Chain A
Amino acid sequence: MKPAAASPRWDLPSAPLEALLAKHGSEKGSSLWTQAWTRLRRDRAARWAMWFLSLVGAISLLAPLLPLPSPVAMHVDREPSAPQAPWVAPGAQKFERQYWPLSALDRQLVGLRQTLFQEWQTGPLLGSDAKGRDLLSRLVWGGRTSLAVALAAALTSLILGVVYGGLAGLLGGWADRIMMRIVDGLYALPFTFVVIFVLGLVGSSKSVAGVGREVVFLLAIGALYWLSMARVVRGQVLSLKRAEFVLVARAQGAGPLRILFTHMIPNVLAVVVVYLTLTIPSVMLSEAFLSFLGLGIEPPKVSWGLIAVDAIEAASPLRVYWWLIVFPSLAIGSVLLALNVLGDSLRDALDPRAPGRAAQP
């Protein structure tokens, strides 16, 4: 038995302790997210992935501003031409302002590009496709579409899945059982076919009941992914509800809202963020797949799926236009890889128990 006197700290008068506290300026307190961010920055693979994705994102956002040729200006008279070195013939051709109907912002950006670079444009750095369209420009504009679709669809699945799964987990009991049986039922449907069916119904009409075809397309893809998200979130909420630290929080007088926001959501969010970074790649693949089938983005718009279609159409037994295969594959592959790496690192970073956390500051 250890008498109290053996630990002088217990009898520490409060004044020196106050001074000590003041000296440490210890009001900072670090949250789960700042900690995770620090760990993420220390992860080299994650840093590369983030840099790469930011670069791709920036290029996609600024696509109308870059001195690229028009992605749809055709030169049908020519064969697909191989990539040329950058010093060959930049600006050999005049810029033709030719796009699909752009949004107002994009129109202004293109206008700005014209005043900045005027007639000047890059040469066929990555070659051109069977219709003589510049591949680099198509990749950039296509990435813009593909990323936008992926983000929007992932967001749809996020909102639907988190709300639905969270509700099922929180309500529990009968509500939970019914809601999850519905999810099971939907899971049983071959969802790709459902999406194809829905898009087929919409057909080639520009809009259904005021909703544009592309919005339907986005929602359909999002709906494909919210099911797993709902399950993940529900499972997490269920286990959190029974967690003893939630009981402790209740025992301390925390109300239901407080418990939801400080104890449940951070836990759920960590899982959701990771799941989301892993969902985006598969959404991009679905987009490419559906566009490939002619159900997604419609020409003259470009997406990475459509570029792949062009490559397949151009290929013939006599001649392989390698640049038409290699560059789009590289674009899709590298973005998917970066997203997967980032997702993996995020999972590690959001777990304080993971090894590699720095010692106490």
Chain B
Amino acid sequence: MKVLEVKNLRVRFDTPRGRLQAIDEFSLELEAGQTVALVGESGSGKSVAGQAILGLIPRPPGVIETGEVIFGGQNLLVAPAEQLRRVRGKQIAIVFQDPLSALHPLLPIGLQMSEVLEVHEGLSRREARRRCARALGEVGLSDPEQRLDAYPHELSGGMRQRALIAMALLCNPKVLIADEPTTALDVTVQVQILDLLRRLQEQHGTAILFVSHDLGLVARIADRVQVMYAGRVVEVADAPDLYRRPMHPYTLGLLASVPKLSRARELRLLPIPGAPPDPLEPLSGCAFAPRCTFVQKRCVEERPPLAAIARNVSDVVLVGGRRSACFERERVGRTVELPGSLPAGRQDAR
């Protein structure tokens, strides 16, 4: 069952230096209980996409040029403010990257958590407090009802992020947008948070949009992956397929640059040469062309569309609706096979 659909979203920012095309032709489908990951490096537009869904882009300077965000049969982008407010937090919740700055420094977290209940369910302070304590217990904080009186600075980073996740899930939303929820945390805590998200997802059937730059983490949690580059989706695939057989040179480059302890001796890390294009001066062709090893003359001249890939391309057998924005996608898919390159975790996790 499709819960959230984004069609052809286009967002730009009017900066003092000119127009910055943050995202273009962005589409997304999210089904109940599914986790879709948005992957890309900084500035690829993945966070903007997540925030645009809830209309949280600051306007100005942000401008949503085209697109639809369909949720519950209505387009959130044109919904009146009052209606949008009823969706926020209640139906679609968001968890931000930095758990310290996402919490009000002068308020105990219990008060901040209960806000969403007061807004949406009109609960009294007392009832809200009870629900919050239970939610904190559910995300694995000890002494939940005492933590309610703690200030953010009195909790560790992992505890803060757990509290924020508990806060986001208080109203049992249908969709959770996790905007790099683990980036500010250390590695062991990252894994705990991922497990927490997956467990809560199984319990509540929440759909998760997981925004991250870390392909290793994404492998642990995502069912489907959308790779973004320079504001556009360049590849969409079910997670296992993407890791086994990337069909866009950028995905390939990302995978090659993920460190793998098991093969550290044989394989050197392969960084992608060059830097992302300046978003203020968009290229007419493929944005990845200047850094691409598969580049053809055609790539520089016209932009490859995000096209579906035939099920069977010569010897390559494909499953699910795969799409890639590369003219040379079949060549990329044929030449590269990464048998052992699937990052640890997902295979044994599922």
Residues of B in contact, count (CB < 8 Å): 54
- The contact string, 1 if C-beta is below 8 Å from chain A, for chain B 103-147, is 111111011100110011000011001100110011010101110
Which listed segment binds B: A7-15, A52-60, A194-202, A330-338?
A: A7-15
| Residues B119 and A253 in contact, CB atoms below 8 Å apart | yes
Closest chain B residue to A262 by CB distance? B115
| Residues A10 and B149 in contact, CB atoms below 8 Å apart | no
Which listed segment binds A: B29-37, B87-95, B245-253, B325-333?
A: B87-95
| Residues B107 and A29 in contact, CB atoms below 8 Å apart | no
Which listed segment binds A: B191-199, B229-237, B272-280?
A: B191-199
Would you give the shortest CB distance from A270 to chain B, in whole angstroms? 7
A-B contact count (CB 8 A): 129
From A29, A245, A252, A262, give the contact of B148 (CB < 8 A): A29
- The contact string, 1 if C-beta is below 8 Å from chain B, for chain A 20-56, is 1100101101111000000000000000000000000
Chain A residues near B88 (CB-CB < 8 A): 250-253
Chain B residues near A17 (CB-CB < 8 A): 133-134, 137, 144
Chain B residues near A30 (CB-CB < 8 A): 108, 149
| Residues A252 and B134 in contact, CB atoms below 8 Å apart | no
| Residues B148 and A26 in contact, CB atoms below 8 Å apart | yes
Chain B binding surface, main DSSP class: helix
Q: Does B101 contact A (CB under 8 A)?
A: yes
| Measured CA separation A267–B56 after assembly (Å) | 22
Closest chain B residue to A267 by CB distance? B106
- The contact string, 1 if C-beta is below 8 Å from chain A, for chain B 78-97, is 00000001111110011010
Q: Does A352 contact B (CB under 8 A)?
A: yes
| Residues B106 and A26 in contact, CB atoms below 8 Å apart | no
Would you give the shortest CB distance from A256 to chain B, in whole angstroms? 9
Chain A residues near B71 (CB-CB < 8 A): none
Chain B residues near A258 (CB-CB < 8 A): 115, 119
| Measured CA separation A24–B234 after assembly (Å) | 54
| Measured CA separation A24–B116 after assembly (Å) | 23
Q: Does A361 contact B (CB under 8 A)?
A: yes
Q: Does B54 contact A (CB under 8 A)?
A: yes
| Residues B98 and A244 in contact, CB atoms below 8 Å apart | yes
Q: Does A2 contact B (CB under 8 A)?
A: yes
Q: Could you name 24 residue pairs across A and B whose Cβ atoms are closer than 8 Å?
A: A1-B349, A3-B195, A4-B199, A10-B138, A17-B133, A18-B130, A21-B134, A21-B145, A26-B133, A27-B125, A29-B108, A32-B107, A243-B101, A244-B96, A245-B103, A248-B94, A251-B88, A251-B96, A252-B93, A254-B85, A266-B107, A352-B153, A360-B146, A360-B149
Chain B residues packing against A (C-beta within 8 Å):
54, 56, 85-90, 93-94, 96, 98, 101-108, 110-112, 115-116, 119-120, 125-126, 129-130, 133-134, 137-138, 140, 142, 144-146, 148-151, 153-154, 164, 167, 191-192, 195, 199, 345, 349
Chain A residues packing against B (C-beta within 8 Å):
1-4, 7, 9-10, 12, 14, 17-18, 20-21, 24, 26-27, 29-32, 243-245, 247-255, 258, 262-263, 266-267, 270, 350-353, 360-361
New A-B pairs, 5, CB < 8 Å, besides A17-B137, A245-B105, A248-B164: A10-B140, A24-B146, A29-B110, A245-B102, A255-B119
